[in-house]
């Protein structure tokens, strides 16, 4: 199996500050980490590798220091890593990002399965994974919480839904995005960390991936951010009290009828 894991380096805090003038993230003084959901994507890739063998390649698009995120993936067990970095990529929205990543994946010899985290914790769009699949014209399955089996060039997974899960069978190659229910990511090892330090991470530019420049970076990004803001916190709600369950149910019913909800 040739597995590809897409990785994003994100600011460490979940309490992100936004510059109100430019509507962009304030990155100064905030250390960077691997997007936590991408660690679950790597864990799923390594589990498949444990069972079926093959190679795990991690790809990240970002500034040169995003290499640190890729080294972390190598320390945990990924075999190879590629960094996509070019001034031409700057300012990409999800469309341009997924186009760029897809072009890079096309340059790989072969791929059977692409695994992404369900979303990045900074942008929270959850669009890049499916976008990559569309650019590659392959099926994608989002919110996967279990890979049941991979046989005869097919993959059967559970897709988490609000009520339970769907069982989905797809042909390969395909792209899946995973949720954290997939299983605790493993820790890096000392040998892996030492190996990661020595592994050469090639840096690919727009030219290397033979991309159409008009589809990259700002010029390839139709999205315009008008305003970013923190939503107002929801107020407390009301807890219906009562001596017993049936009394509580009665009180609830009375309140709902009084509010003309039922």
Residues lying near another protein in the complex (CB under 8 A): 186-194, 197
Nearer to another protein, 47 or 186 (CB): 186
Torsion of CA 205, 137, 98, 226, to 10 degrees: 140
- Least Å distance, CB 72 to another protein, is 11
Nearer to another protein, 189 or 212 (CB): 189
- Least Å distance, CB 56 to another protein, is 16
Nearer to another protein, 25 or 68 (CB): 68
- Least Å distance, CB 217 to another protein, is 35
- Least Å distance, CB 188 to another protein, is 6
- Least Å distance, CB 148 to another protein, is 24
10 Å CB burial of residue 254 (0-12, 13-18, 19+) is: exposed
- Least Å distance, CB 192 to another protein, is 8
Nearer to another protein, 35 or 85 (CB): 35
Nearer to another protein, 190 or 225 (CB): 190
Nearer to another protein, 192 or 220 (CB): 192
């Amino acid at each position: 199996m040739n597995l590809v894991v897409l990785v994003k380096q994100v600011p460490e805090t979940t309490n992100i500050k936004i510059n109100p003038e430019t509507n962009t993230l304030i990155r100064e003084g905030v250390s960077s980490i691997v997007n936590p959901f991408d660690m679950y994507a790597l864990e799923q890739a390594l589990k498949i590798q444990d069972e079926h063998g093959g190679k795990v390649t991690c790809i990240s698009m970002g500034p040169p220091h995003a290499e640190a995120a890729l080294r972390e993936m190598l320390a945990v067990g990924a075999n190879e890593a590629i960094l996509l970095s070019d001034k031409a990529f700057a300012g990409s929205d999800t469309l341009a990002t997924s186009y760029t990543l897809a072009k890079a994946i096309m340059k790989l010899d072969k791929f059977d399965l692409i695994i992404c985290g369900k979303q990045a914790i900074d942008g929270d769009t959850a669009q890049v994974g499916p976008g990559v699949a569309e650019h590659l014209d392959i099926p994608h399955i989002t919110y996967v919480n279990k890979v049941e089996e991979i046989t005869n060039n097919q993959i059967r997974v559970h897709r988490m839904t609000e009520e339970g899960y769907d069982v989905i069978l797809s042909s390969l190659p395909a792209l899946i995005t995973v949720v954290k229910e997939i299983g605790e990511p493993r820790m890096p090892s000392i040998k892996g960390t030492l190996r990661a330090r020595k592994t050469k991470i090639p840096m690919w530019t727009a030219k290397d991936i033979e991309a159409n420049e008009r589809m990259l970076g700002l010029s390839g990004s139709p999205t315009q951010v008008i305003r970013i803001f923190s939503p107002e916190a929801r107020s407390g709600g009301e807890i219906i009290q009562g001596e017993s369950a049936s009394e509580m149910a009665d009180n609830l019913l009375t309140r709902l009828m009084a509010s003309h909800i039922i």
